Amino acid sequence: MGNNQKKQNKKGLKTIAIHHGKSYADETGCVMPPIFATSTFEHGNKANFDYTRSGNPNFSILENVLKGIENSNYCTVFNSGISAVTAIVSSLKSGDTILCESNLYGCTIRMFEKIFRKFGIQTSYFDFTNKEYIQQISKVKPSLIWLESPTNPLLKILNIKEICSEANFRKIPVVVDNTFCTAVIQKPLELGATLSLISTTKFINGHSDALGGAVITNDESWNNKMIFSQKSLGLNPSPFDCWLITRGLKTLPLRIAQQTENAHFIANELNSHKLIDQLIYPFNKNHPQYELAKSQMKIGGSMITLKLKLNKNETFNFCKKLEYFSLAESLGGVESLICHPTTMSHASVDEAVKNTLGINDSLVRLSIGCEDAKDLLSDLLLALDSF
């Protein structure tokens, strides 16, 4: 196993993403793995499977590919990104505090505040682009630090390596929600994080037809906690969803490359449009953390946030006018999407909190897909020019 892992790690991401799962196909020679639609396994089987709530060949195949692309030792898959969050938080105990980046995914905050707070888990929020986070760590004495970079939807970049080094020095584990990047763009564990969390619903699957999540780590004790949460809380995915996600994952490096190329083109073309107050894209030279983004991320990704010079109604109408961008939650698929965070992904976040973060009614978030960039651009320009 150890040797296999080392050999595999020398391969490129595209090769790892495509070549996997053969270990369950030895007897039949099938090129694609079957769907192991079974809830239970005969006792004493060679692969040591037991009951699908705690493992299934389709989970293992997906976990192997995710471990491969992250260059890590362990991975546990879940039925959604939010289940992956549940798995981690439920490993804490009453009285523990999570120190969170202030601009986290809305449903992560909702879970912390509306569910786990009742069970005694505390939270504290801080803007981790502010160096005083170091004093905040000493003050709060967290059991866990929770980061996202780029953040959603403002695409703020945090210095993951530096924060992890401060945290590791104090023996505090760091979770990085890497959903917006995936291992193709940044590898949190290599930057010092203890846990890399991912909603496989988004870029990893890439085809908007299944939900999933995963936690990736090199820490054996954390991995045991993830396996325990999966079976004890019933957070397991279905074999069919794992099969779909594994299939989608094969083209992840190709999709992200194309989506990023499209996003660069659109960001450049729209940058100085008269109806756009601010265009936020990590690899845009006017992004306040452009240098950090360049050093931390391999490529700029395919998420662009626009602050429009339009009011709430006009902004909503702009979204509705687009032909190729569906107004929908989610991101990272081959099809382009547009999201209006104040009424959608961040609807559950306090009004006052949204205001302090700068998430207002004129803000839209684009997830650029794999369509022809020129068609996406003319779609956006046509809608903008109607105002």
Ligand X SMILES: *Cc1c(COP(=O)(O)O)cnc(C)c1O
Residues that bind ligand X (CB under 6 A): 80-82, 105, 107-108, 148, 152, 177, 179-180, 199, 201-202, 211, 213
Which CB sits closer to ligand X, 310 or 337?
Answer: 337
Which of residues 126 and 180 has its CB atom nearest to ligand X in the complex?
A: 180
Tell the smallest beta-carbon distance from residue 77 to ligand X (Å): 11
Helix (H) or strand (E) holding 52: none
User: Shortest gap between Cβ of 345 and ligand X (angstroms)?
Assistant: 8
Least gap, CB of 108 to ligand X (angstroms): 6
Shortest Cβ distance from residue 85 to ligand X (Å)?
Answer: 7
Q: Which is nearer to ligand X, 134 or 353 (CB)?
A: 353
Question: How crowded is residue 134: how many other Cβ atoms within 10 Å of its Cβ?
Answer: 15
Using Cβ positions, the residue closest to ligand X within the complex turns out to be 81
Min dist. Cβ of residue 311 to ligand X (A): 27
Q: Are 303 and 263 within 8 A, CB to CB?
A: yes
Which structure tokens are listed for 157? Answer: 């970049």
- The residue (of 111 and 134) whose beta carbon lies closer to ligand X is 111
CB of 328 to ligand X, least distance (A): 12
- For 368-387, b/e burial (b = at least 16 CB within 10 A) is bbbbebeebbebbeebbeee
| Tokens encoding 41 | 């396994």
Compare residues 91 and 152 and give the one whose CB is closer to ligand X.
152
- Residues with Cβ within 8 Å of residue 204, at least 6 apart in sequence: 66, 182, 198, 212, 214, 245, 248, 249, 252, 332
Q: At closest approach, how far in Å is the CB of 106 from ligand X? A: 9
Report whether 338 contacts 325 (CB < 8 A): yes
Closer of 336 and 383 to ligand X (Cβ): 336
Residue whose CB is less far from ligand X, 76 or 373: 76
Phi, psi of 214 (to 5 degrees): -155, 150
- DSSP per position, 63-120: HHHHHHHHT-SEEEEESSHHHHHHHHHTTS-TT-EEEEESS--HHHHHIIIIIGGGGT
